[in-house]
Amino acid sequence: MKCLVDYTKSSVVYEDVKRVAAYLRKLLVQHKGKSFLITGAHGMIGNYIVQSIRYANNTFLKRSPIQLYLVSRSSAKTVSDEKYIHVLHGDIATMKLPLKQFDFIIHAASNTAPKLYTEHPIDTLKTNVLGFFNILSSNPEKSQGILFISSSEVYGGQEHEGKTNENRLGTIDQLSIRSSYVEAKRFCESMSVAYNQEVKSHIKIARLFHTFGPGMNMNDGRVFSDFIHDGVSGNDIQILGDKTMKRAFLYLSDAVIMLLLVLFKGEDGEVYNIGNDTNIASINSFARAVARESAYIFQKNIHVSYKNGNIKYFQKAVRSITPDISKFKKNLHYNPVISLQEACRRTLRYYKEINYGTNIT
């Protein structure tokens, strides 16, 4: 179940987008009245970006709001009815884009969970590669900034000591069941470099590490969605596979700030890791953090159990990958601030606010 967020209906989301807009206020004011094309507007990342700009538009950009052009496959109502929101229904891989020069473009459309991109590899390839090619073929050289949201998956399955910086070359098995997603991201990164060099497009690449928060797909099979789902529904949290695997967890509001900083201030053709280099935890530790916060928020006793799962998309998962974000910090001057405990608490609070647990089937 994908849960589309609305900052006017959740105190958690309101607090998040208010913080995002306050931190980026000067940059947003500089770009008042500009046009943004955002693909994947129905997804967790895309929608939180939309909500953050909505808040800015409805508070300090009222006289000259940022114009939002949102690409979404869903025919359902994507966001609110503000006049600055223009919803483009369709598949970014095949749709004809408006004959308009967009000032900023964010390509966030993709299946992002192993469960989804292993079940729908062709769609994953098309959305990323053909979708990005469709955008870049629509004469975007006059755009002030284009952001391609890539993934830490491009670093591959090879174990690596220490933190991973942007210069590390990943080893990828293109015949793996997981390869559609990572190879699509790698190809789009190559496309970014080509268009930057030949057409002088202003493309920046953001390699996003594990990110969670309000609005994530609770049935997509990723550990954070599974664990949060269990905590909200009052079920014991069950770990499938290796409980010692380590991940760096980034909260959604921090991710939005970092992504927009890359869009507005990042260097053309450069790659930036987007993650939290302090929220590093084993799967076991993360499960226990969710259990503790669920017990406090929902007044339920949640236990953590273990089971050896034979799930194909676990088989070639990297045991440990942590981001080196020193390049981002040095050039864009921001440190993610939401701790893992607070991230779990805020996400669980959100699902309590919207009574998600009472609607679980």
CATH code of the domain in which 193 resides? 3.40.50.720
Domain count, the chain: 1
Do the domain assignments include residue 47? yes
Coil vs helix vs strand at 268: coil
pLDDT of 39 reads: 97
Do the domain assignments include residue 265? yes
pLDDT of 2 reads: 46
Do the domain assignments include residue 343? no
Distance of alpha carbon 286 from alpha carbon 292, whole angstroms: 10
pLDDT of 244 reads: 86
Do the domain assignments include residue 134? yes
Do the domain assignments include residue 78? yes
Do the domain assignments include residue 20? yes
Domain that holds residue 123: 7-216+249-277+322-336
Q: What is the pTM of this model?
A: 0.93
Distance of alpha carbon 290 from alpha carbon 296, whole angstroms: 10
Do the domain assignments include residue 350? no
Report the phi/psi class of residue 308: left, alpha or beta, with left for phi > 0 and alpha for psi in -120 to 50.
beta
Report mean pLDDT in 10-residue bins for the chain, 361 residues.
77 98 98 97 94 98 97 68 91 92 96 86 96 89 92 81 87 86 96 94 96 89 87 88 88 98 97 96 94 91 79 57 95 97 96 73 34
pLDDT of 359 reads: 45
pLDDT of 113 reads: 82
Q: What are phi and psi of 173, to 5 degrees?
A: -95, 100
Distance of alpha carbon 53 from alpha carbon 106, whole angstroms: 13
Per the CB < 8 A criterion, the answer to whether 200 and 207 are in contact is no
Do the domain assignments include residue 298? no
Distance of alpha carbon 184 from alpha carbon 38, whole angstroms: 19
